[in-house]
Structure 1
Amino acid sequence: MTRRPIDFDSVEIDPDGKFIKIIDQTQLPQKEVFLFLSEENEIAEAISSLRVRGAPAIGIAAAAGLAVVLNCSGSETIEESTRVLERACEKLEFTRPTAVNLRWALQRMRNKFNSLKGEYANNIEKLHKLMTEEATRIKSEDISMSLSIAENGLTLIKEGAKILTYCNAGHLATGRYGTALAPIYLGIEKGLNLKIYSCETRPLLQGARLTTYELQKGGADVTLICDNMAATLMQQGMIDAVFAGCDRVAANGDTANKIGTLSLAILAKYHSVPFYILGPVSTIDPSAEDGSHIVIEERNGKEITEPFPGIKIAPAEVKTYNPAFDITPAELITAIITDKGIFRYPFHFPFRVN
């Protein structure tokens, strides 16, 4: 692709490694607010509060955040740097328990640090600079993976296709371009006329707030629907395929994604609509044999009862249950589209993914 759908990335890294710049996604689409973060507590808060979100993007934010914390630590010895690294990793690692990219990125940064600390024990400034370069490399690789996902996914899209998407797995959720939305952007650039339907995605409305925002900016023909309208659209023949992202994929293909994805997969199966999961191979977790081994984050029920500050839509003290993700069984997934190719059920991933 030759252009970004939006003229900024979700995570931008200061070349000197002194801060990361993010767009505060909790403020979109009403306001475009940029945050400059340099402390581990504020970086952790930005991830846990969804100011930066999307499995690839939070992996990038964590890796870059780790480099920034090291650069700003004032450490003068390798022992001090090691303590700073481990403290920051511990703080960041469990901010979002479901997305595998977060721990993957932190472990990669740990491994890089350990491989360099012997050689650069007497040049801490250089060591920290090399850690910034590694974080930048992680982002660059993610962008390349998104482009490969776009090319692989586009082979499944025909002229005039009507595509249903869920949550936000686009430019805002990754280093650039997206996963589920990347083939759409590439198709638009190549001149395809595509019709996109975006589910609003309760309770935090990522589809309404974020996906429609970036698709409009990217030149897509997008229509917003309520989550409970998807079945009717499929019944009326208005959907040719469902494209969804993923926060973690088990070794057997069971997929954790935003709560509500499972419902769409069941609807798609009933209506014989292809249901595709799109994501980089770094999202595949070989340590999770199946979906039962994936930890599901449960979030504050206030996200359901008060979706906007000061706007309460339920009685006070009502009980809530608010899992952030659900597990779509592999047998409901037509194919998983990755940067390494397209894999169909039953899933066997013929490469090392960890």
Structure 2
Amino acid sequence: MERMDEEMPFLLRYENVAWYENGRVRILDRRVYPAQVRFVECASYREVAQAVRDMVTQSAGPYTAVGMGMALAAHECRDRSGEEQAAFLEQASRELASARPTAANRYAAVTESCRRAALEALRTGCDPAEAAVRTTVESLNRRYGKMQAVGDRLAELIPDGGTILTQCFGETIIGTVMRAARRQNKTFRVFCAETRPYLQGARLTASCFAEMGFDTTVVTDNMAAYVMEREGVDLFTSAADTIAMDGHIANKIGTLQLAILAKYFHIPYFVTGIPDRDKPAGRDIVIELRDPEQVLCTGGARHTAPGVKAVYPAFDVTPPHLISGVVTDRGVFTPYTLERYFDGGETAFY
């Protein structure tokens, strides 16, 4: 099977994201990486959905997990009648796709492709679980391939020897911009905002850049203004969990405040990703509210007094006037001209 994860860091190799094999799905537990390299094993598609809800895997990791979850669903219902299997796969697709609401449309693109592939395999006497795995890998290849074009364009925007600031864990774009920089014989410094409360920037983004030999520094989320003012940051960049057609983007909570700071310090903010045509406007973005208890604890240890409350919106929405450009596989667009992305027609991404 062709793969597009060559030269990628450990976190971005397919089997180290999520993988189906022998009636189980293994998901790398990103909540504890890199302190521990631990995999969560799921014996049912509902356990996969729960793992996604629990943020065992984050960023683009759930796209792989829900696809492998569909393979597991096909395995679970293998001894039922054809009609029952079809109903079971439809239910699995719905539940996996809705595991987290903000990117549910993207998850559904993966689970529905896997469902159709599994049904076709049943019709032709092939293994539906294998068909779902193959479809998931095809989705990964497609996404990694398109995001390489995005990474190439982003790398061109970074001055050789320059400095960038990142937010959260952009997953595929992290790997592809590093591959692009190597091919362009370019290097740069990276400041990674730690990204409370799960510290994806500190644990995941920084690990990838450091593993691939880039000068990498972690800063706490409230140090961004200091870094922008004093460290010569050339651009701020982040991926997006959704890009609405009116130029509003949703990304990990804290992105909005960094975009405001970048605007103040005259630092361009480049969002990476593909516009979501099924999200016409920012008002169509659903913000996931997570368990506030996760804000009151760090590494399992509570750090607040009894009676203290918290709030945990997983994402915030950044308006278009704070965004310098949206870097896509078809070029860099202003947030006000995203419809032009589709001038060449729509192609599958997930």
8 Å CA contact 1:198–1:223 kept in 2: the answer is: yes
The counterpart of 1:77, out of the listed 71, 81, 91, is 81
Deviations 1:220-251 (CA, angstroms, capped at 9, x unpaired): 11011111111122222521001101101101
CA distance in 2, matches of 1:93, 1:184: 30
Deviations 1:176-195 (CA, angstroms, capped at 9, x unpaired): xx225531443145432311
CA distance in 2, matches of 1:65, 1:33: 19
- Counterpart residue number, 1:201: 195
Shift of 1:57: 2.1
Shift of 1:349: 2.8
The counterpart of 2:33, out of the listed 28, 31, 45, is 28
Distance 1:105 1:221, change over 3 A: same
8 Å CA contact 1:265–1:275 kept in 2: the answer is: yes
Show the 5 A alignment for 1:264-343.
264-279=258-273, 281=274, 284-309=275-300, 311-343=301-333
Greater helix fraction, Structure 1 or Structure 2: 2
CA distance in 2, matches of 1:307, 1:22: 22
SS in 2 for 1:163: strand
Q: Which runs of 5 or more structure 1 residues have no equivalent in the other structure?
A: 171-177
Shift of 1:147: 1.5
CA distance in 1, matches of 2:247, 2:96: 27
> Normalised by the size of structure 1, how large is the TM-score?
0.88
Higher deviation after alignment, 211-220 or 327-336: 211-220
CA distance in 2, matches of 1:72, 1:33: 24
Query: Partner letter of residue 310 of structure 2?
Result: T
Higher deviation after alignment, 103-112 or 150-159: 103-112
CA distance in 1, matches of 2:330, 2:10: 26
The counterpart of 1:86, out of the listed 72, 84, 90, is 90
Deviations 1:32-57 (CA, angstroms, capped at 9, x unpaired): 11234341122112111111111x32
8 Å CA contact 1:286–1:353 kept in 2: the answer is: no
Deviations 1:131-169 (CA, angstroms, capped at 9, x unpaired): 332122111112212222211211211211100001111
Distance 1:160 1:319, change over 3 A: same
SS in 2 for 1:69: helix
Matched, 1:262 2:252: no
Distance 1:136 1:38, change over 3 A: farther
- Counterpart residue number, 1:143: 144
Show the 5 A alignment for 1:29-178.
29-54=34-59, 56-99=60-103, 100-113=105-118, 116=120, 120-121=122-123, 123=125, 125-170=126-171, 178=172
8 Å CA contact 1:188–1:194 kept in 2: the answer is: no
8 Å CA contact 2:18–2:28 kept in 1: the answer is: no
Higher deviation after alignment, 80-89 or 248-257: 80-89
Query: Partner letter of residue 335 of structure 1?
Result: G
SS in 1 for 2:217: strand
CA distance in 2, matches of 1:136, 1:72: 20
- Counterpart residue number, 2:227: 233
CA distance in 2, matches of 1:230, 1:29: 23
8 Å CA contact 2:164–2:189 kept in 1: the answer is: yes
Deviations 1:295-331 (CA, angstroms, capped at 9, x unpaired): 000001111101221x211122322111000000012
- Counterpart residue number, 1:173: none
Query: Partner letter of residue 315 of structure 1?
Result: A
Q: Which runs of 5 or more structure 2 residues have no equivalent in the other structure?
A: none
CA distance in 1, matches of 2:179, 2:314: 27
CA distance in 2, matches of 1:143, 1:42: 26
CA distance in 2, matches of 1:46, 1:6: 20
- Counterpart residue number, 2:215: 221
Show the 5 A alignment for 1:243-262.
243-262=237-256
Matched, 1:345 2:335: yes
CA distance in 2, matches of 1:329, 1:52: 27
SS in 1 for 2:271: strand
Query: Partner letter of residue 121 of structure 1?
Result: R
What is the Cα-based RMSD across aligned positions, in Å? Answer: 2.2
8 Å CA contact 2:18–2:64 kept in 1: the answer is: no
Distance 1:131 1:203, change over 3 A: closer
Shift of 1:343: 1.2
